[in-house]
Amino acid sequence: MDIDGSSLLLLLFFALGSYIQATTGFAFGLIVVSSVSALGLAPIEVTAFAVSVLSLINAGLGLRGGDWREINRRAFVGFLVPCLPAIVVGVWLLDYLGDNAIGWLKLSLGVCIVVSSLVMMIQAHHVRQASSAGAFALSGVIGGLMGGMFATFGPPITFMMYRQPDAQSRIRATLLGIFFCTATLRVTSVSLTQEVDTATWWLCVVGFPVVVAMTLIAKKFPLPISSRTMRFLAFSLLLLSGASLIWQGL
């Protein structure tokens, strides 16, 4: 992959997604997949795999220094258990739809992103409350399907976590812990069931230093704005990207 304008734009999305996820605990996959797919910088299958690898790195670095101890174990287990089989189904759907219905794939991704963004923007104004085990299980299934197809596990579990009466640091740690595990599962599933070409691995290699640098910068120098403002900015970007994908799909 030559370092041209498209490559630099791709690296910019890697940097933006890494910084926001390291700060808030989510949004790397959504920002990168939606933006890259909307602009046609790389195929969805290639982008989704690269996002899984780079999200794993981002989450691992974000949990350094003992931050993993703050994970909400009830939410962590409640989401991951039903998420596992759903990931395999999602990976299969991506492989099938990628060859047979790319327009439908873009449309469905765009709808998921728009709806998720709107719901999470509205959710920010609601009172937080502990969710039931069934709610976490349902979000796990939906998250697994979305993650298997698009490498975007975030919307369902992010929606659930920001409903919990937890401190921001605990929500962030829980989300990063979940994304570390789901990214590992998706990379393993794809590697065992599909052939990953050189261009895809090269995308991971190029994105690696950007993700590492921005994650470390975010931990040391977070933006001096409230988490609510940060979430709103991320949701706004996702909303625009999702709308663009819907337009392409139609």
What pLDDT score was predicted for residue 76? Answer: 92
Mean pLDDT to the nearest integer, 167-177:
86
User: What's the pLDDT at 127?
Assistant: 54
Q: Is 125 exposed, middle or buried (0-12, 13-18, 19+ CB in 10 A)?
A: exposed
User: Which of 183, 109, 174 is CA-nearest to residue 136?
Assistant: 174
Mean pLDDT (the chain) is 80
Give the start-to-end residue ranges of the domains of the chain: 5-249
pLDDT single digits (tens) 26-66 = 778 878 877 787 787 877 778 888 888 998 898 888 888 77
pLDDT of residue 2: 52
Average pLDDT over residues 16-34: 81
pLDDT computed for residue 104 by the predictor: 78
The number of CA neighbours under 13 Å toward the Cβ of 167 is: 6
pLDDT digits (tens, 9 = 90+) for 93-129: 877 776 667 677 778 777 877 887 787 677 655 556 7
| pLDDT at residue 48, as a whole number | 82
Q: What are phi and psi of 71, to 5 degrees?
A: -60, 135
pLDDT of residue 213: 93
Cα–Cα distance measured from residue 147 to residue 157, given in angstroms and rounded to the nearest whole number? 11
Start-end of H helices in the chain: 5-24, 28-39, 44-62, 73-100, 102-123, 133-150, 154-161, 168-193, 198-220, 227-249
Q: Are 245 and 113 in contact (CB under 8 A)?
A: yes
> What mean pLDDT do residues 243-247 have?
76
Residue 48: closest CA among 61, 32, 64, 63:
32
Query: Over 70: is that where the pLDDT of 86 sits?
Result: yes
199-241 per-position pLDDT tens digit: 888 888 889 999 999 989 988 887 777 767 766 776 776 677 7
* Residue 148: predicted pLDDT: 81
Instruction: For residue 183, give both structure tokens.
Output: 């990214």
Gap between the Cα atoms of 109 and 97, Å rounded: 12
The pTM of this model reads 0.78
